[in-house]
Amino acid sequence: MRKDREQQKKESGQLNIFREVATPITTLTDRIVKGKMKGLELSSRLEKQRTLTSHLLDKIVDYENLNKSYKQVLRNGGRSGVDKMETKDLGVWLGKHSPELRSSLLREGYKVSAVLKVEIPKASGGVRTLGIPTVKDRLIQQAIHQELEHIYDPHFSEHSYGFRPNRNAHQAILQASHYIKEGKEWVVDIDLENFFDSINHDRLMQRLSKGLGDKRVLRLINAFLKAGMMAGGLEEQRTAGTPQGGPLSPLLSNIVLDELDKELELRGHSFCRYADDCNIYVSSRKAGERVMISITEFIEKKLKLKVNRIKSKVHHCSDGKFLGYTLLTDGDIRIADKSIDRLKDRIREITKRSRGIAFIQVIKELNAVIIGWTNYFQLANKWLSNIRDLDGWMRRKLRCYVLKQCGRKFTTYKLLRSLGIAESKSWNVVMYSQGWWNMTTKVAVNHAMGLQWFARQGLQSLYLRLNV
C-alpha cells in the first residue's frame, strides 16, 4: 500500500513538472530575503534586550526571586551534591546566610562548586552522565533560570515543546500527527550525539552575550558551565557541555537549539522538537534524504554539534517512534513497542517472586507505575487490544506472586480453599501443577483470582484507564 501511495504521488508530480522546476529558485530567493529581514529584526531586538538586562543580576538575587527559587528546589528534591548538604537543610542554611549569599553574588565573590558525577543506565543501552550540583548552586541556577526564561522563552519557536512552560510531549505528538494527516508520512529523525555533554561553551556564551547586558550574569553562567565534575574524589575539568542535573541546563539547551529551530522555519519545514529529539516531516523518502544531508551539515558546521549517523535515519512514520509513541498512516497514534517492553520490564521487577514483600505493597507499587504510564500514553487510539493482553499477563504475574508466598503445598491448598475453590479442585491444583507459573493456568485459580478479586485488592487496569 505504501508503494502504491508513493507511485500515485510520483505520477501526480509528473503532471506538474513545469511548475515545480521553477519552485526551488523562487524558494531560495525568498529564503535569502526572509533571512535578511529576520536578521535585522533579531539585531534590533537583541540591542533592546541588552539595554533592558544591564542590571539583570540585581533581579536574580532579589529576595522574592530567591524565595521562589528555594520553593522550586524543594519541590524538585534530588540527592545532595559534593558538599553533602541535603535539600531539607537548605532552608536553615539560608536563614543564617542569605544576606551573605546575595552580597557574594553581587560582588562576584561566590565560588561555584564542582558537580557530582552520577551515571544512570539508558533504556536504549549504555549510560547517561548526570552532573548533580550542590543545593546552593541549584538555588542560584534556578534563580537565573527564572529570570532568563522570561527573556528567552517568548521568542522560542512554536515547534519547540521540551522544557518550556505550558508545553509538553502530548502537544508535540498531536502536532506530528497533524503533519502526517497532511500527507507528510516520511520522517527525518535526527539524533544528536551526546548533546548535553558536547555543547560548545564559547559559542553558547557568545550567543548569550548578544542578548544579555549584565556581564556579571554572563560570568556567573560561564562559571557554572566550567565547573569541574567530581568522581571518586577526583575532579575532572570540563571544556564542553552543560551537565544534566542542574536547573539551568534545560534552558541553555533550548537557547542552543533555537538556532536549529529558526533555520528549519526559514526553510519552511514541518517539524517538532522536544529537547534534543527532533523530527522533520516530509512527503517522500527522497525529500527526506535531501533534508537529512543539508540539516546535518548545518548542525555540524554552524552549531558545532555532532549528529549520530547510526541512530539518525529517514523512515516511514509507522516504522519509528517519537517520544514513546508510534504514529501511523493517517495520523493514528499507538504506543511504541519499546515503550511496552520497558513497561513489562518494570512489571517484572515489581512482581519478582523473590522480593518477599507484602502483596498489598506490590499492588501499591504497580498502581503508581500504571497511573503514571497511562497518563502519559493517553493519546493512543490504536492497537489497544495489546494493552488488554498486557493486563492479563500482569494479573498472571500477580497470581504467581501470591501462590509463591505460600511456600508449601499445604499452605497453598489452604489459600485456595480460602478463595472458595472446592476441596478436590484445590488438591488437584497443588498436586498436579509443574511449578508456580504453571499453577496460574488452572481454571480454578483464574476463576478464584479473577477480575473482581483484583478489583477488591485495588489493582488498576491499564486497558480500562486508556479507554476512559
Three-state DSSP class for residue 315:
strand
Global pTM? 0.85
pLDDT (0 to 100) of residue 29: 65
Q: How far apart are CA 463 and CA 384, in angstroms?
A: 7
pLDDT at 11 over 70: no
251-288 pLDDT, tens per residue? 999 999 999 999 999 999 999 999 999 999 999 999 99
Between these two residues, 230 and 296, which has the higher pLDDT value? 296
280-295 pLDDT, tens per residue? 999 999 999 999 999 9
Would you place residue 355 in the very low, low, confident or very high pLDDT band (cuts 50, 70, 90)? Answer: confident
Burial zone of 289 (CB within 10 Å; 0-12 exposed, 13-18 middle, 19+ buried): middle
**What rounded mean pLDDT belongs to the chain?**
89
pLDDT at 106 over 80: yes
Q: How far apart are the first and last CA of the chain?
A: 33
CA distances from 154 to 149, 245, 460 (A): 8, 24, 40
Between these two residues, 145 and 403, which has the higher pLDDT value? 145
Tell which residue, 59, 358, 101, 378, has the closest CA to residue 217.
59
Q: What is the mean pLDDT of residues 411-419?
A: 85
pLDDT at 306 over 90: yes
pLDDT (0 to 100) of residue 25: 40
pLDDT (0 to 100) of residue 277: 93
pLDDT (0 to 100) of residue 43: 79
pLDDT at 75 over 60: yes
Judge contact between 133 and 76, C-beta under 8 A.
no
159-217 pLDDT, tens per residue? 999 999 999 999 999 999 999 999 999 999 999 998 998 999 999 999 999 999 999 99
pLDDT at 33 over 70: no
pLDDT at 114 over 50: yes
